[in-house]
A and B are shown apart, each in its own frame.
Chain A
Amino acid sequence: MSEVTTSRRAFIGISATAAAATAGFVALAPGVKLMDLAQAHADSKGASSKVRWGMLIDTTKCATGCSDCVSACARENAIEPGSGRPAQSSQWIRKIELKEKKGGHRELSLPMLCQHCANPPCVDVCPTGASFQRADGIVLVDRHICIGCRYCVMACPYQARSFVHEPLHNQNPEVPRGQGCVESCTLCVHRVDKGESPACVESCTHQAMLFGDLNNPQSEIAQRVATVASSQIRADLRLDPGVRYQGI
């Protein structure tokens, strides 16, 4: 017994040296080298499934008649009215004014946009896999694969998607858009990936829009959702939207 003095660590050291000497690298799994992992780690700070991006919209603060969020969206994503035909223009966010018919005269106003559902029907119906959900919950159209069939436009209960009918010019390089594809709010994914918030949220002077990670209990949005009454529009459909509304 006492003859076997080689410790576990020494043994691993020896075998690693042997492996390195024979193969020139430490193999972690067939085809995966220590080098690859180190590199993968360095530049893959992409979408993470630990995060669920969401929005909380306080309709008691959202001002009737104000459309700052809509124009900020249009500026950021270079959405212009298509050749003098506004009906053909894309709409990623729109303002809705509501009025209670019975009782008092309660009026409220809210922005409607892609609700970034956890169970998105637009993704279910897409025949090519172009309509998809990122690991962090953002629902997007991969326009490299979209064939423009518009099933998703029909499937969305929030009417959040548009079809691009005409050739476009002067796109924001970070927001490529073009004819023949369906598109919708990307939650400004190009900004979110840089640690910024969506343009509409940034533009709201009434502090009616809050953006953040619903999965992080420390985040302001998660704490607000945990303490104030908020609702999901058409919660009965059980799509679990990432956009929540307060005061409706």
Chain B
Amino acid sequence: MLRLAALVLITLALSAAVNAAGVPRPVIDIAKPGQCIDTPEVMRRTHMDLLKHQRDKTMREGERHSKVSLNGCIECHASKQNGSVLGGPDNFCQGCHSYAAVKLDCFECHQPKAGYKAAGGKR
């Protein structure tokens, strides 16, 4: 009887430990810490809708002063290690997306690295 009680207790303790650790969280090792454009809860749920809405606004109407901007995300969220939002499980966009099994084509065109300087007309 005592043995059984001990076993139950151990099992309970074990499951509590797993719960405290919870679901593995994405690594946020970003070059510019501080504040996002909205709360993390809102960002996790709605960033894809925000981006797709702004995409059409910028592309079609030339609206470029919105707080939502893909280049803006990248400037803040690029990693300290390789300056990019892609690369491996520690990179912000890729890390979470591979965990959530999301595949993006955005970076076939969009530059995933922060800090690019365009050459411009002058040499």
State the Cβ distance, B111 to closest chain A Cβ, in Å. 4
Q: B64 at interface (Cβ–Cβ under 8 A)?
A: yes
CB-CB nearest in chain B for A171: B111
Which residues from A are CB-within-8-Å of B64?
46, 193-194
Does B62 lie within 8 Å of A134, measured CB to CB?
A: yes
Which residues from A are CB-within-8-Å of B118?
75-76, 172, 174-175
| Contacts A44-B63, A143-B109 given; does A76 touch B71 at CB 8 Å | no
Roughly how many angstroms separate A75 CA and B63 CA in the complex, as a whole number?
Answer: 25
Does A200 lie within 8 Å of B121, measured CB to CB?
A: yes
| Contacts A171-B110, A174-B71 given; does A46 touch B121 at CB 8 Å | no
CB-CB nearest in chain A for B113: A173
Does B121 lie within 8 Å of A203, measured CB to CB?
A: yes
Does B60 lie within 8 Å of A75, measured CB to CB?
A: no
Which of the candidate stretches A18-26, A115-123, A176-184, A238-246 sits at the interface with the other chain? Answer: A176-184
Does B62 lie within 8 Å of A142, measured CB to CB?
A: no
CB-CB nearest in chain A for B116: A173
> Contacting A45 at CB < 8 Å: which of B65, B71, B119?
B65
Roughly how many angstroms separate A135 CA and B66 CA in the complex, as a whole number?
Answer: 19
Please tell me the number of chain B residues within 8 Å of chain A, measured between CB atoms. 24
Please tell me the number of chain A residues within 8 Å of chain B, measured between CB atoms. 39
Does B62 lie within 8 Å of A46, measured CB to CB?
A: yes
Roughly how many angstroms separate A75 CA and B117 CA in the complex, as a whole number?
Answer: 11
- Interface bits A128-142 vs B (CB < 8 Å: 1, else 0): 000010111000101
Tell me the residues in window 40-79 of chain B with beta carbons closer than 8 Å to chain A beta carbons: 55-57, 59-66, 71, 74
Which residues from B are CB-within-8-Å of A108?
none
Q: A189 at interface (Cβ–Cβ under 8 A)?
A: yes
Roughly how many angstroms separate A108 CA and B78 CA in the complex, as a whole number?
Answer: 49
Q: A153 at interface (Cβ–Cβ under 8 A)?
A: no
Q: A214 at interface (Cβ–Cβ under 8 A)?
A: no
Does A46 lie within 8 Å of B108, measured CB to CB?
A: no
Q: B24 at interface (Cβ–Cβ under 8 A)?
A: no
Q: A56 at interface (Cβ–Cβ under 8 A)?
A: no
Does B108 lie within 8 Å of A178, measured CB to CB?
A: yes
- Interface bits A17-55 vs B (CB < 8 Å: 1, else 0): 000000000000000000000000001111100000000
Does A46 lie within 8 Å of B63, measured CB to CB?
A: yes
* Closest 3 pairs (CB-CB, A-B): A202-B121, A178-B109, A75-B119
Residue pairs across A and B with Cβ atoms less than 8 A apart, 20 shown, are A45-B63, A45-B65, A72-B121, A76-B121, A132-B60, A142-B60, A143-B109, A144-B55, A144-B59, A168-B109, A171-B109, A173-B116, A174-B118, A175-B118, A176-B111, A178-B108, A194-B64, A198-B121, A199-B120, A202-B122
**Interface set of A (CB-CB < 8 Å, partner B):** 43-47, 72, 75-76, 132, 134-136, 140, 142-144, 167-168, 170-179, 181, 189, 193-194, 197-203
